[in-house]
Amino acid sequence: MSWIKDIFRRRSIYGDLSEEIRLHIEERTEQFMGDGMSRKEAEQAARRAFGNRTVIEERSREVWHWPALESIWVDVRFALRQLRNSPGFAITVVLSLTLGLGANTTIFTFVNALLLRAPAIADAGHLVEVMEHNAKASGIEAYQPFSYPGYTMIRDHNHTLSGFASFDGDPRTVSWSHDGQGQMVFGQLVSRNFFSVLGVDPNIGRFFADNEDKNGPGQPTVVISYSFWQRQFGGDRSILGRALDLNGAGYTVIGVTPPTFTGILIGSRPDFWTPLAMTPTLIHDPDRMGSDTSYWLLGIGRLKPGISKNEAQADLTVLTRSMNSSNPKEPALDASAFPVQLVPSPFRGYVAAFTGLLMAAVGLVLLIACANATNLVLARATARRRELAVRSALGASRFRIIRQALTESLMLSMLGGAGGLFVAYWSIPALLSFKPATIPVSIEAPLDWRVFAFAFVASLLSGIAFGVIPALRSTRRDLIPGLKDERQLAGPRRSRLRGSIVVAQITVCLVLLISAALCVRSLLNARSIDPGFSTHNIAVAHLDPGSLGYTKAQNQQFYQQLLDRVRALPRVRSASLSDYLLLGTSRLVHDVQIEGVNPPPGQDAIPLQVAYVAPDFFNTMGIPVLNGHEFSSQDTQPGVRKVIINQAMAAHYWPGRNPIGQHFKDEKESVEIVGVVKTGKYRSLGEGPLDFMYLPLGPRSEEFLVVQTRAGEEAALRDIRRVILNLDPNVVPMEMETISQYMALPLFAAHT
């Protein structure tokens, strides 16, 4: 960029030039003196021969100017003076643009974070994410992760990938015991070649050795994330070789990831990674690794040189088809390979639709802001008629005046854009903080160069949008009335223009108001939907002492003590346990057979969603028992086969009859109905009545504690937390919230 250098070199260039010219005249003078002139005559003659020195020097300097830029600078300074002279106008326009551009920049920052940013992986172009794909299904439902045997088969038998890694798509909530207390951290199970396939190098230490998976679990090891290392250990390098107590087992830290690597899926930022071989130890699920019907692993492959994504997909499809042919009940699945992105391809459409809607809404807000600014600028142009007329009369071209006017509006819009960036900078952390801390999702939405570019372009466009019409208008007019300072106000044409801008503004406002009102109404509607349980004075805690290695007996003792102590709290009315909460995200389905009822075509049983609940569950949750009774403590004994069904199921299979005492087969075992409860909402607030069955809860590790409190759920939550801490300080509740906090997610889902 030599012109930049030229700008800085100008002073010396001009100095050289003056000196050179001085020496030239001096030489000429001496020449004339040599011809016999007096010094004075010679000097005058030399100057004459040289010409107008000032003009010549000026013209020589101009060669180094950047005329367009410098006259723009003049415009900018003039515009700044103008705006300083009318601060009220400037502040109004800038503020309204700040709002419009701020909303746009904020939403765009999320679009950028979700759809545009790439994972911090070198050479991501040669990586593919792989899932199984059911060609007969559509949407997200069609995609399925791999089982561990499925993954290893593909890893060992493909011809198109130089490496095939996999990871557990669900981040695991893990209790990290240190200093006598448990703390909730997030971990991810990955294949040992995970980092080498991604091409990520450790910040310090090493990553997992590729061959270790085959040799059994071996010594438990973890790689920790850079931010976890900084946050918890202050970046202490002696962390290498130390052991972390995670879910009751010691894991040696062998490495730290580089600061840029935060995982490859948006939302999941694990604190640590540990090999898949640790699955039984970490999540106490000994069968998962061997099962070919647990689908939980997302695949990541590095393409061999010269292999395209589609070639790899065809190669892997051959393998997935052969894999599933051993199990005739499962449909044959293809392999689907897509680029490694923070939001994987199958989900991008949904994300794009949602964020596109938001962008459209804030785009309308910006439109209003621009219309507003146009009106203000037009009003000001009326006030400045005389000034413009004088400038035209003095010879300013129309283009020059339009350029000046545009400079002014661009200055305003750039100020608005800068304000908008500030708005985004402050509002994004605020928006992100609305997410409950217990949801293991963290979204990084940085203001990177794309956001700055967006803010710049949006400001530029809005500046032109609200500047051009007034600029054209103010220059298309007779000079004479303006010069005469006639106070004749806006003619009919102009009032029509301003009128139509106001009309457009009101229209867009109305559209926005109506859509906002619709959103609020659907939110209120969702709130007014009866979820089938009480939404007041209930506290819930999600616990899993089994993750600390509790035995079955220890689990049972823990929960019994917990229930006893919680029930004894003064703020607590009743307390119970379940393995499921209504409107929860997990789903357990049993096969049932009912005499005289035909199962759906192609199946030999009726699929039915079920949940396990302890005695007093319905009372605590405020779910009315319509017929029969709740489970008693005898019902939870092994061998007793009693169930409670909901009203929808009773009406569906035993219409007009009393279902109490009826028998049917649950998972091929005969069970007896002892109660009928009110139908609730199980999957989403918008669903119709679904059949549902409750079974007595036996001892297990992962449970929800539900507590009905007297007034003040928050205080009750604190009491309950203390009880848990006293029982075992290492048990960390995965979620611990009031029922209204719990309802935030289903409500959010319902009104979007």
Partner 1 sequence: MPVVNKPMTNSNARDLFPGALEMMILESLRRQPAHGYALVQHIQQRSNNLLQVEEGSLYPALQRLLKAKLVKAEWGVSATNRRVRNYQITPTGLRHLEAEITSFERMFEGIALVLNAGKSTAN
Residues that bind partner 1 (CB under 8 A): 6, 13, 16-17, 19-21, 23-24, 27-28, 49-53, 56-57, 59-64
Q: Which is nearer to partner 1, 21 or 243 (CB)?
A: 21
Q: What is the closest distance, in whole angstroms, from the C-beta atom of residue 72 to partner 1 in the complex?
A: 20
CA–CA dist 119, 135 (Å, integer): 28
Using alpha carbons, list the distances in angstroms from residue 18 to 7, 24, 330, 456.
17, 10, 89, 42
Q: Please provide the size of the chain in residues.
A: 752
* Between 34 and 88, CB nearer to partner 1: 34
Cα dihedral 68/74/76/80 (nearest 10): 180
Token pair listed for 650:
């009773």
Residue among 597, 724, 705 nearest 649 (CA):
597
If the CB atoms of residues 28 and 498 are measured against partner 1, the closer one turns out to be 28
- Which of residues 50 and 748 has its CB atom nearest to partner 1 in the complex? 50
Label each residue of 321-381 as H, E or C.
HHHHCCCCCCCCCEEEEEECCCCCHHHHHHHHHHHHHHHHHHHHHHHHHHHHHHHHHHHHH
* Beta carbon of residue 399, minimum distance to partner 1 (angstroms, whole number): 24
CB 631 within 8 A of CB 674: yes
- Pick 21 or 523: Cβ nearer partner 1: 21
Residue pair 592/625 in contact (Cβ under 8 Å)? The answer is no
Of 19 and 687, the one with the shorter C-beta distance to partner 1 is 19
Report in angstroms how near the CB of residue 395 gets to partner 1 at its nearest: 24
Shortest Å, Cβ 21 to partner 1: 6
- Residue where the block lists tokens 């994972």: 119
Looking at 78-220, which runs of residues are DSSP E strands? 127-133, 143-144, 161-168, 172-178, 181-190, 204-205
In angstroms, what is the minimal distance from the CB of 16 to partner 1? 7
* Least distance in angstroms from the C-beta of 50 to partner 1: 5
**Contact assessment for residue 34 and residue 26, using Cβ atoms and an 8 Å cutoff:** no
Return the residue matching tokens 């939405």. 445
CA distance 58 to 680: 87
Query: Between residues 21 and 479, which has the closer beta carbon with respect to partner 1?
Result: 21
CB of 266 to partner 1, least distance (A): 51
To which residue do tokens 């209003």 refer?
368
Q: Which is nearer to partner 1, 17 or 447 (CB)?
A: 17
For residue 59, the minimal CB distance to partner 1 (Å) is 4
Cα–Cα distance for residue pair 367/439, rounded to 1 Å:
36
Task: Give the residue with the Cβ less far from partner 1, 25 or 358.
Answer: 25
**Smallest distance from partner 1 to CB 9, Å:** 11
Q: Which is nearer to partner 1, 63 or 711 (CB)?
A: 63
Q: Are residues 574 and 730 in contact, defined by beta-carbon separation less than 8 angstroms? A: no
Q: How far is the CB of 60 from partner 1 (least distance, A)?
A: 4
Q: How far is the CB of 475 from partner 1 (least distance, A)?
A: 33
Q: Which lies closer to partner 1 via its Cβ, residue 57 or residue 311? A: 57
The residue among 28 and 269 lying less far from partner 1, judged by its C-beta, is: 28
Question: What is the closest distance, in whole angstroms, from the C-beta atom of residue 6 to partner 1 in the complex?
Answer: 7
User: Measured from the CB atom, is 57 or 285 closer to partner 1?
Assistant: 57
Calpha distance 752→748 (Å, rounded): 6
State the CB neighbour count (10 A cutoff) for residue 572.
Answer: 20
Closest CA to 712 of 537, 555, 532: 537
Q: How far is the CB of 20 from partner 1 (least distance, A)?
A: 5
Please check whether residue 409 is in contact with residue 381, taking contact to mean a CB–CB distance below 8 angstroms: no
Q: Which is nearer to partner 1, 57 or 591 (CB)?
A: 57
- At 455, the amino acid letter reads A
* Cα atoms in the 13 Å half-sphere on the side-chain side of 311: 11
Question: Least distance to partner 1 from the beta carbon of 35, Å?
Answer: 14
Angle (CA) 305 307 310, round 5°: 155
Task: Please give the Cα distance from 487 to 467 (Å, whole number).
Answer: 24
Q: Which of 348, 349, 335, 346 is nearest to 135 (CA)?
A: 335
Could you give the CA distance from residue 706 to residue 718 in angstroms, rounded to a whole number?
Answer: 14
